[in-house]
Amino acid sequence: MFKKSLLLLLVCVFLGGITSQAHGIHPRPKAKARHSTTHRATKKKSATLQKRQENAYAHSTHIQQTHPRGTALVDNHAYLSLSGNIEHPQRLYPHLSNYLTTPDQWTNYMLASQNRRVATQTLRAEKRWEEIERNLYTIYHAQNSVYDSQENFVQILAGQIPQDTQYILLGEGHDPIVHKQISRFLSELRAQQPEREIILFTESLPESMYLEPAGPNAEAPFIKINNHLHEHQDVFSAASKANITVIGLEPEFVPENKYVLFADIPSHHSKLLWQTLEGMAIRNEQWLQHIEGQRKEHPQALFVIYAGAMHVAYQQPYSIGDALAPAPTYTALFLPYRIVKENHKNLPAISPYDAQCLERDIPPNRFVTFEKPYAIQVGFDARIFLEER
C-alpha cells in the first residue's frame, strides 16, 4: 500500500510540473541576469548617443565650412566636449529625465543638440541675410524715421504702441545708457495706459522673485547681488513708482551651471553654455512657460518683457518675439550707438538690416519703426540707437 501511495505522489508531482510549464510558469530570473540586461541596454544607449554626437559634429562642421556668411551671423560652433557635468540636467530637459541616466549620456545629448542647432541656424541665418540683401531698398523705403532729440525718444515710442498690444518686448544691448532709457519708458508707458494692469518680466532677476509696486511716493526696495547694488535698480524703481509689478524670468538652473563650457579643441573655439544656441533655446523655452503661466492668472494685463536683444528680436534663433507674435506684439530694440560708429562685429547678428545699410554707406537713422510684415523681416517694430550725452 505504501509503495502505491508513493508512486501516485511522484506521478502527480511530475504531471504538475508539465502543467506549470504548459501554462508558461517559469522560475523567476536571477537578479544578476536582470542587472546584466539593464547594463547592456545602458551601454547600447550610450553608444548610440555617442554616435549621434559624432555625426552631428561632422555635419555641422561641414555646413559652417561651406557657409561662411551664416557662420559669422550665428557666432556659434560645433563642439566636441563639455567642461564638467551639468548640475541637475533633469531641470533643463524634464522630458528626458527618465531616459538619460548617466553623465556621459547627458553630455553627448547636449553636444549633439547644440551641433544640430548650429547647422540649422547657420543655413537659416544665411538665407535671411540674402533675403534682406535682395530687398534692402524696398525695406529702406518702408521704414518710418523719427527726427527728434534723444530726450524725446521714449515718449514718442510709448505713444506709438497700439492700445490693444498684449506683449511689449524690450530688447537691449547691455549698456548703462540703455537702462536709463528703459526706466523712462516705463513711466511714459504708464502715462499712456493709466488704468491697465502692467507686469514687467526681466531676465535680470530669478524666476522666484516678485517685486510688488510700492507706489509713486515710495522708494523701491534695493536689490543687491553679492553685496553690489543691482545694475537695473533704476528700472525697478521706475516700475514700482509706475504701479508695475516686476517678475523675474531666470530659472534656478542658470546660475547653477554658470561656468559650464562647450569646447572644440581642434578649432580652438569655446563658449559658455548660456551663450550657445542650446543654452538660448533652453532659457527661452523656460521663460515662455513662465510667461504663459502668468498669462492664465492675468489674462488682460499688458506684459512687458525686458531682456537681451537676441532673446526677443523677431527671426532670432528660438526667439521670444516669434513665439508671442501671433498675439498683438510690439518689439523695440534699445542699442548703444557705438556699435554703429565702431561697425561692431555683433551688429550683423543683432540687426542684419542696419548692418547692410552700413555696408552700402547708408547711415542708419537713430530711431526707426516698421509696420508689419516688414517689422518681422527686419526683426523689430522699433529700433533706437542711444548715444551718451
Q: What is the dihedral of CA 60, 65, 69, 71, to 10 degrees?
A: 40
- What is the percentage of the chain residues whose pLDDT exceeds 90? 74
pLDDT at 1: 47
Query: Tens digit of pLDDT for each residue in 228-248?
Result: 557 888 999 999 999 999 999
Task: Report, as an integer, the average pLDDT of 189-204.
Answer: 96
Q: What is the pLDDT of residues 245-263, one digit of tens each?
A: 999 999 999 999 999 999 9
Q: Is the pLDDT of residue 4 over 90?
A: no
Cβ–Cβ contacts within 10 Å for residue 23, how many?
8
What's the chain's average pLDDT?
88
The answer on pLDDT for 25 being more than 90 is no
Per DSSP, what are the bridge partners of residue 302?
198
Q: Is the pLDDT of residue 181 over 90?
A: yes
Tell me: pLDDT of 195 over 50: yes
Beta-bridge mates of residue 250: 206
Band (187; pLDDT cuts 50, 70, 90): very high
- Report the DSSP beta bridge partners of residue 303: 167, 199
Pairing of strands 367-369, 382-386: antiparallel
pLDDT level of residue 84 (50, 70, 90 thresholds): confident
Q: Which helix (H) or strand (E) holds 141?
A: helix 136-142
- Supply the pLDDT for residue 15: 47
In Å, what is the CA distance from 321 to each residue of 21, 94, 210? 64, 24, 23
Q: Determine the Cα–Cα distance for residues 160 and 251; give it in Å rounded to an integer.
A: 33
- Kindly tell me the burial class for residue 357, based on how many C-beta atoms sit within 10 Å of its own C-beta (0-12, 13-18, 19 or more): buried
Please give the backbone phi and psi of residue 201, each rounded to the nearest 5 degrees, phi first.
-105, 140
In this prediction, what percent of the chain has a pLDDT beyond 70?
87
Q: How far apart, in Å, are the Cα atoms of 282 and each of 48, 110, 269, 327?
A: 23, 11, 21, 22
pLDDT bracket for residue 23 (50, 70, 90): very low
Place of cell 542658470: 254
What pLDDT score does 242 carry? 94
Q: Residue 17 above 70 pLDDT?
A: no
In angstroms, what CA-CA distances link 381 with 139, 165, 178? 13, 12, 17
pLDDT digits 0-9 by tens, 348-376: 999 999 999 999 999 899 999 999 999 99
